[in-house]
Amino acid sequence: MLKFYTERCKGCGICAYFCPRGVLEVTELNKSAIKSGKEKDCISCGQCEMRCPDFAIFVQKEGA
Amino acid sequence: MKSMEELVNVYFRPGRLPHLWCPGCGNGVILGALLKAIDAEGLEKDNVAIISGIGCSSRASGYVDFNTANTLHGRALPISTGLKMARPDLNVITLSGDGDCSAIGGNHLIHAVRRNVGLTLVVFNNSIYGMTGGQYSPLTPIGSRATTAPYLTIEPSFDILALAQAAGATFTARATTYHVPVLVDVLRKGIRHDGFSIIEVVTGCPTNFGRQNKIGAPALMMEWQKDHAVPRAAWEKLDDEARRGKFPIGVLFERTDEKEYTKAYDEIIERAQAAKKEETA
Ligand SMILES: Cc1ncc(C[n+]2csc(CCOP(=O)(O)OP(=O)(O)O)c2C)c(N)n1
Ligand code: SF4
Ligand code: SF4
């Protein structure tokens, strides 16, 4: 499951670029978010969390 | 091992996020990797000191809950050296920008290296003076555009690790903000090294380097790192032609035959005390 700290996000687009499943996009509010229709596509690979320079997106283990 | 979210909760000073770095700036990736490394090494907060110079990168010290000081431009190493001399038990980690460390602080660098003071120096190499608006530094690649080089730089850049090695470094390593696991690994090894360790981190300043040099989005700066960095083992097998324009990452050099400076200094203290005893006897 993805957890966003939206107030930390600056819309740099790094997470969206490196997500192997095309799950993320930078919205018109300049924030990272899950693309509509992609809610079930995340494979929890952790790329977005690892690359985010702003500590704004975390991948949480199911049930955690 | 703690998750990144837990690391932030444990090691960030409350209320410091969002940080002040620009969208897509690599500094946050380096700071996150440093927290992972410190945590994985099991260091206590009170036993860690993070000393930085001046620059965007040097702001990193202010965000985290260790013994920290954001000092003077180019002077992070002399202050770190003083601290290490006074408190050899501390893990002193010095953070410095490419300008901070190789231009105004270049002289301090070679002598801290030569003395083998037990510090871990992390050089945030974004190829530019970020904080002051994009002037070129001694690590800016030749042929780059900078506000001080509107017609491109004509100066060859230092290879700061080769420079450190020539000055007698006992540990050199390089990583990038794309290669996060390599970065965490070399930070851990640098912290463990008993002597001066220098870790160059190739990072992106989208605002003041990327824009002037038309590299594009922050993610493309990371893509550039991915395409140009070569793990050391693979690097050893390349000929000069294949190495052109690329650079090796990982631990590049390590030796343990030289005494760490504060340990050598302890011997001076012993000798001086023995001499004094003889005098008074
Ligand atoms: C003695 C002194 N000279 C000049 C400055 C202005 N100054 C502040 S930061 C900086 C350079 C920053 O570049 P770098 O060290 O590469 O760090 P970055 O901002 O790119 O992280 C300069 C020249 C200063 N603060 N003090
Ligand atoms: S965890 Fe992986 S798949 Fe899921 S959103 Fe992040 S990058 Fe995409
Ligand atoms: S100017 Fe460059 S180095 Fe400074 S915060 Fe912005 S992107 Fe980062």
- This complex has an ipTM of 0.96
Convert the pLDDT of each residue in A4-58 to its tens digit.
999 999 999 999 999 999 999 999 999 999 999 999 999 999 999 999 999 999 9
B105, B117, B250, B23 alpha-carbon torsion, rounded to 10°: -40
pLDDT reading at A59 higher than 60 = yes
Given an 8 Å threshold on Cβ–Cβ distance, is A11 in contact with B23? yes
Q: What is the CATH number of the domain that holds A31?
A: 3.30.70.20
Residue with the two structure tokens 């740099």:
A12
Total tally of structural domains belonging to chain A: 1
Nearest protein CA to atom 1 of ligand 3, as residue: B130
Q: Would an 8 Å CB–CB cutoff place A49 in contact with chain B?
A: yes
Total tally of structural domains belonging to chain B: 1
Arithmetic mean of pLDDT over chain B: 97
Strand bridging mode B247-254 / B171-176: antiparallel
Arithmetic mean of pLDDT over chain A: 96
Given an 8 Å threshold on Cβ–Cβ distance, is B24 in contact with A50? no
Residue with the two structure tokens 């000929």:
B239
- Would you state the pLDDT for residue B154? 98
Q: Pick the residue of A50, A58, A60 with the most B CBs within 10 A to test the interface with B by mutation.
A: A50
Q: What is the CATH number of the domain that holds B45?
A: 3.40.50.970
Residue A64 lies in a domain: no
What distance, in Å, lies between the first and last C-alpha atoms of chain B? 56
Instruction: Record the tokens describing residue B249, joined without a space.
Output: 């990452």
Give A34 to chain B, closest Cα distance, Å: 18
Convert the pLDDT of each residue in A17-29 to its tens digit.
999 999 999 999 9
Which of B105, B190, B103, B104 minimizes the C-alpha distance to B138? Answer: B103
Domain range for B139: 4-280
Domain range for A53: 2-59
Convert the pLDDT of each residue in B105-133 to its tens digit.
999 999 999 999 999 999 999 999 999 99
Report residue A61's pLDDT band, with 50, 70 and 90 as the boundaries. Answer: confident
Residue A45 lies in a domain: yes
As a whole number of angstroms, the distance between CA B244 and CA B246 comes to: 5
**Burial state string for B148-184 with b = 16 or more CB within 10 A and e = fewer than 16:** ebeeebeeebbebbebbbebbbbbbbbbbbbbbebbb
- Would you state the pLDDT for residue B205? 98
Strand bridging mode B119-125 / B197-202: parallel
pLDDT reading at A63 higher than 80 = no
Atom nearest to B206 CA in ligand 3: 7
- Would you state the pLDDT for residue B281? 81
As a whole number of angstroms, the distance between CA B183 and CA B175 comes to: 5
Q: Which residues does chain B have with pLDDT short of 50?
A: none
